[in-house]
Structure 1
Amino acid sequence: MDRKSKAIELYLQGYKIIEIAKKLGVSQPAVTKMLKQFPEYHKEKEQRKKENQEKARQWRNEYKKQKREQYDEEYELVIRDHEQAAAALSRKGKLSNDVLIKLCIIHYDYNKKKERLIFNESAGKRPADLPGSVYVHKNILKQFRV
């Protein structure tokens, strides 16, 4: 069997051009040149192209779906926090320190010695309505213990 017929046979079996070139011991351009002489090559190439486009489309749709779900989860968390803050405001007309701390907890660090949450200045300038530090009872916020 000559190289041309071996190349087309391998290609129709699903091998890639780079794999065929390695098996036959020739360059990739040489394999492509051989394959272009066969009408089956062009049909197979179109079929592979369509399959790859379909795979890419499915991957994009799955990726978009995952991103959408992730966004929906984050959005629900934001809405829930907003509703809690709105409820706290509507009852008292002013947010308590506890509610403020809960809403801005990522800007506070736990000081083990003083058993306090202390505002982390590296997070930015502290707004006037946020307390600089808040006493934390050891039974209430165990997650801040190190």
Structure 2
Amino acid sequence: MCDKNKVYHSYFIEHKKAVDIAKEENVSKQAISKILKQFPEYIEEKERRKAQNHKKHNQQVGKIANQKRKQKNEEDNMLMEALKRQQEIHATVILSKKRKLGTDTLIAMSITHYDYNPNNQKLIFNEACGRKLVDLPRTIKVHKSTLNQFVQYSQNIESEKWTSNVEKKALK
């Protein structure tokens, strides 16, 4: 068997684990636990070690979480930097080209500010939409070949107006 005093000294003074003491004494862990349970301080020491291990575990979990968080932040920062660089490259390429917008393009961008007049086949700027920009024409003649999309758009709007008025009358 093993010496109680040696087990006591190893466990309580040197703070070794029961498994390590069992290996040194060439006995089972259960035999060491049986000897340790005979001492009145065993329960207190066991609770103290349990609290210490719990605190140590929490610190390790926190450290691992911080490492993962830092790694994720670094990856996100690298990705953001790459996206910023890519955006800057695209912006310089796009802005370096000289372009002029044609009248058709300007009108296409602001088509909602124009009303179609079917009598003379013209788009007329609607002042109720706001002030007219200097670059925009007040009226523009609709050619069937170039501005056919505007005619279709205005016809769709007129048909929607007609439908909605009919629906209003039907609901009254």
Shift of 1:93: 4.3
85-94 vs 57-66, which moves further: 85-94
Deviations 1:8-42 (A, max 9, x none): 23210212112222333422111111111222111
Identical residues among aligned pairs (%): 34
What's the counterpart of residue 79 of structure 2? 78
Instruction: Report matched runs for 1:112-131 at 5 Å.
Output: none
- The 3-state SS of whatever aligns with 2:16 is coil
In 2, Cα distance between equivalents of 1:88 and 1:43 = 67
Q: Which residue of 2 aligns with 1:66?
A: 67
Q: Deviations over 1:37-77 (max 9, x none)?
A: 22211111111111111111111212222222222121111
Structure 2 alignment gaps of length 5 or more: 96-172
Q: Amino acid of the residue matched to residue 7 of structure 2?
A: A
Q: Is the 8 A contact 1:8 1:41 kept in 2?
A: no
Partner of 2:10: 10
| Superposition deviation, residue 6 in structure 1 | 3.1
- Report 1 or 2 for greater relative contact order, CA contacts < 8 Å, sequence distance ≥ 6: 1
TM-score in terms of structure 1 length: 0.54
Q: Is the 8 A contact 1:21 1:27 kept in 2?
A: yes
Secondary structure of 2:41's aligned partner: helix
Q: How many residues are matched?
A: 93
Who wins on radius of gyration, i.e. which is larger?
2
Post-superposition CA distance 1:65-117 (Å, at most 9, x none): 222222212111111111122222234349xxxxxxxxxxxxxxxxxxxxxxx
Paired residue type of 2:44: K
